[in-house]
Amino acid sequence: MRVDDRVYSAQSRAHATTILGVKRGDTVAIAGDGQVTLGDFVLKHGANKIRLMHDGQVVAGFAGAVADALTLFGKFESQLKAWDGNLKRASVELAKEWRTDRYLRRLEAQLIVADSESILVLTGEGDVIEPDDGIVAIGTGAPFATAAAKALRFHTDLDARAIVEAAMHIAADICIFTNDRITIETVHLSRGSDQDPDGGDPLQDTDIMSIEPSQSGKAEPTRSSSRSKRKKPER
């Protein structure tokens, strides 16, 4: 393969997107746009980059190569089953495998995963990151979506779903690699679920890289999928 072919191949890989996750109160919402870009043109407008897992108790979104992301989704689902839905433990184990496996570490994707209590970013560098304010984004439009979501969270009373929808529309108006055909999935904490005896998260103050398996309350899934389309203003 010539140098020019390698450069073209790297630039032509479908990669551009925006995935945004917001946790507010007892609700977590993750939104993704539908645009898939190949080189200098748009290949697809309505791709679905969000998925519910573990009987709807976990929601995940991806940015990066589609085949790579689907492989990681399969690995993550297996870890969820192995650890009985423990999101943090499953995330740490996936990050370990992703970082050390010679095949998996070549995969080019990032994941946002969340249940009703936590939201995490997973990368091939072995990172498992939980944002301090419950707002995180990946993909080309991540800075725009993050800034919009932070402003909406701190200065409005909007719920998590409304925040991600509004912030994604703002990102779509700014980022040329993000469109306004948005898919949103939400997960709510069940009021009747078992809670920690002390009333807090037993893993809240634990180093995420040294988590031991634990049993946590089950989340009652509430699927709320929508595709929102808004015409962009003429430029």
Domain positions in the chain are 16-182
* pLDDT exceeds cutoff 70 at 143: yes
How sure is the predictor about 227, in pLDDT bands with cuts at 50, 70 and 90? low
Question: What burial class does residue 219 get, using C-beta atoms within 10 Å of its C-beta: 0-12 exposed, 13-18 middle, 19+ buried?
Answer: buried
Chain mean pLDDT for the chain: 79
Q: What integer pLDDT is reported at residue 191 of this predicted model? A: 54
Q: Is the model more confident about 189 or about 227? A: 189
Q: Which of 10-14, 89-93, 177-181, 200-204 has the lowest mean pLDDT?
A: 10-14
Given 17, 37, 146, 183, which residue is catalytic? 17
CATH topology of domain 16-182: Glutamine Phosphoribosylpyrophosphate, subunit 1, domain 1 (3.60.20)
Q: What integer pLDDT is reported at residue 13 of this predicted model? A: 43
Q: What integer pLDDT is reported at residue 69 of this predicted model? A: 85
Distance CA 2, CA 86 (A): 46
Q: Where are the beta strands (DSSP E) in 159-233?
A: 182-188, 227-228
Q: Is residue 17 among the annotated active site residues?
A: yes
Q: What integer pLDDT is reported at residue 115 of this predicted model? A: 92
* pLDDT exceeds cutoff 50 at 212: no
Mean pLDDT value of segment 175-195: 80
25-81 pLDDT tens trace: 999 999 999 988 877 788 889 889 999 999 889 999 998 888 888 888 989 999 999
Q: What is the DSSP letter of 180?
A: S
Query: Any residues with CB less than 8 A from the CB of 98 and at least 6 apart, and which?
Result: 72, 75, 104, 105, 107, 122, 124, 126
* pLDDT exceeds cutoff 60 at 5: no
